[in-house]
Structure 1
Amino acid sequence: MLSQLPVTDCKELKIPAPWGYISGRWYGNRLERPILALHGFRDNLGTFDRLVPLLPDHVGVLCIDLPGHGRSSPLPLGVRYDVYNDVFLIPRIMKHFGWEKVSLMGHSLGAFYSFIYATLAPDTVDMVICIDCVLLPKFDVDIALESFRRNLDQHMIQEEILASGNLREPPSYTVPKMEMALANGSLGSVTPELAQHLLHRQVKESGLNPKSFYFSTDRRIRFYNYWDISAELGADMARGVGKKPFLIIKASMSPFLGPHTDKAISILAQDNPHFEFYEVDSGTHHVHLQIPEECAKYMSPFIQYHRPPSRAASYQGKL
């Protein structure tokens, strides 16, 4: 049986960036390069709370909060949150730590980032794990354009509020109401009971209402700028990944992996002995948070094989 990462063996850290810092939590082995874990849209690194401790203990896992999420710094005024800009966090973090290679694990939007980076710089990637996403879902053109216009307008409104300096405390709620709001916002993918794993990094105590809290993430992240990648472009990008170790976990109750990803996944799998694909029954989009044991039973052997223990991994979780 594989040894697992102890829940308490982690270190909070801040990675400097021109706009502030990227907040992170490094689980386990800090003697060698970890797996870099990227969360999904409007989530934070707490999304991996229940999964990471189930993974092999010989390799560390560095989970980060994307800019404006969790405890990371928001982007400066005048800079929009953009899906494709976030991809460049990966080489920024690599440069900070002096890594020549990176092992990637992502959920949802974080999985999309992992896929994109692996297509752009495959020689620097040694392993990719995508949880319930490879390409973003396909959007109707008219809906996409209307969404873009609306997000642009709303983003400008939030920028004007921030620039004015006339800030008021956002609406605050009791913890049960916040848990329910997060569950509803995830369309039932996260239950109120599991919401605590995301809330603990993105709320602050109200100064106006006792025993109440408000969401502290940058409100501009609701208006992310992104365009979906067509199935054809996704397929061309997949060809650039080559025969890299690539694991995809699909949640059976989620639409995030479907016909729009079939061609890209087929190319990733073609003549690749290191490609693996598994579907987890009864899994929602946050399958790694909902039933992490089912994900870990596929992920742990994959990690063990492609990132086997080294001599430095005589590490026993006592740093």
Structure 2
Amino acid sequence: MAARGMLSELKVAVPWGHIAAKVWGSQQTPPVLCLHGWLDNANSFDRLIPLLPKDFCYVAMDFGGHGLSSHYSPGLPYYQESFVSEIRRVVAALKWKQFSILGHSFGGTVGGMFSSIFPEMVNKLILLDTWPFALDPKGIERVPIYRRGAMEHVLQVEASQKPLQVVSPEDMLQRFMKNNSHVSEENARLLLQRGTTKVATGLMLNRDRRIALPEHSMDFISREQFVHFTKQLRARVLLIKAAQGYYSVRREDDTDRNIVAFVTDTLKLVLKERYQYMEVPGSHYVHLNQPEKVAGSISAFLQCKETIPHHL
């Protein structure tokens, strides 16, 4: 099912191929860049964007190695900083000077980091069940372990001669549902529509096999750095937390159970009136499963006329 009002598919040329994106609305209207979560793709926003104000241009990009975007060149791993750089390439191609970001999960942390590095470019930052910067509940000490895992995984994939798996559409759906229990069947099909390629004997996943665990790509930072990066933000920030979402799930090896309070308190303390927080019923994929629960708040936030101050 294609989203109502979709204007076009877009390809932005990059040195390793292209970044694919979907565009809703007129490119003469204020722009909003939509960033999907880990292993998802631009279809993640198909049900939400038709419920948002029509007087904006929404561009949902596929990160490199995801959806319909090119895979990185051989030998190169996927790090969060690379995805941040992709945003800079896309907005340069679109000639956007200022824009808003709507990011879900990993897309929100990529968008948050971009907003801190290029603060003058981002008017508004909307975070869907995510934080603007990555804090690991297990602590910053684990970063060397993650980096080692990332490098070893890439070496293993490169050494492997295994052909890409081709499975039946039904098997593909069942595997996806098993790994993504919070996504409804209808929306699993929607994500697979852009996340797979049809061949004679079935379906193949589009994503790059070098992309493994999210922690292999995340740029985890300390609490001190979190405060510093937050101070760089000029954007107005709306954080929408899903009541049954990712940060409500307690993991056995969490060393710090006050991490959610630290994030929300820091954002409130530093950003003051530029920060809004709300909690909605629903899972980590509430924007896809029940978009009407978040559409009203996002619409009001986007339509608020205040822009970023030039001097803070």
Normalising by structure 1, report the TM-score: 0.84
* Whole-Å separation in 1 of the counterparts to 2:17 and 2:168: 30
- Change over 3 Å in CA distance of 1:225–1:279 after alignment to 2: same
* Whole-Å separation in 1 of the counterparts to 2:191 and 2:300: 27
SS at match of 1:114: helix
The answer to whether 1:103 aligns with 2:95 is: no
Aligned partner of 1:303 in structure 2 is 302
* Whole-Å separation in 2 of the counterparts to 1:63 and 1:128: 15
Identical pairs, percent: 27
SS at match of 2:299: helix
* Range with greater deviation from structure 2 (299-308 or 232-241): 299-308
The answer to whether 1:200 aligns with 2:193 is: yes
Cα RMSD, aligned residues only: 2.3
- State the AA in 1 paired with 2:32: I
8 A Cα contact 2:36 2:107, kept in partner: yes
8 A Cα contact 2:30 2:57, kept in partner: yes
8 A Cα contact 2:26 2:56, kept in partner: yes
Point out where structure 2 has 5 or more consecutive residues left out of the alignment.
Answer: 249-256, 308-312
SS at match of 2:273: coil
The 5 A counterparts of 1:217-256 are 217-223=207-213, 224-242=216-234, 244-256=235-247
Aligned partner of 2:289 in structure 1 is 290
The answer to whether 1:132 aligns with 2:129 is: yes
What are the Cα deviations for residues 232-284 of structure 1, in whole angstroms up to 9, with x where unaligned? 32122112214x32111101112337732433432332363332111111x11
The answer to whether 1:279 aligns with 2:279 is: yes
* Whole-Å separation in 2 of the counterparts to 1:57 and 1:143: 44
Aligned partner of 1:311 in structure 2 is none
Of the candidates 188, 199, 216, which is equivalent to residue 206 of structure 2?
216
* Whole-Å separation in 2 of the counterparts to 1:91 and 1:265: 27
Residue 290 of structure 1, CA deviation: 1.4
Aligned partner of 1:315 in structure 2 is none
The answer to whether 1:179 aligns with 2:173 is: yes
- Change over 3 Å in CA distance of 1:235–1:264 after alignment to 2: farther
8 A Cα contact 2:81 2:219, kept in partner: no
Count of residue pairs brought into register by the alignment: 292
SS at match of 1:177: helix
The answer to whether 1:49 aligns with 2:39 is: no
The answer to whether 1:23 aligns with 2:20 is: yes
8 A Cα contact 1:139 1:228, kept in partner: no
* Whole-Å separation in 1 of the counterparts to 2:303 and 2:105: 23
8 A Cα contact 1:238 1:264, kept in partner: no
What are the Cα deviations for residues 37-60 of structure 1, in whole angstroms up to 9, with x where unaligned? 111111101111111111000111
Residue 123 of structure 1, CA deviation: 1.6
* Whole-Å separation in 1 of the counterparts to 2:51 and 2:227: 32
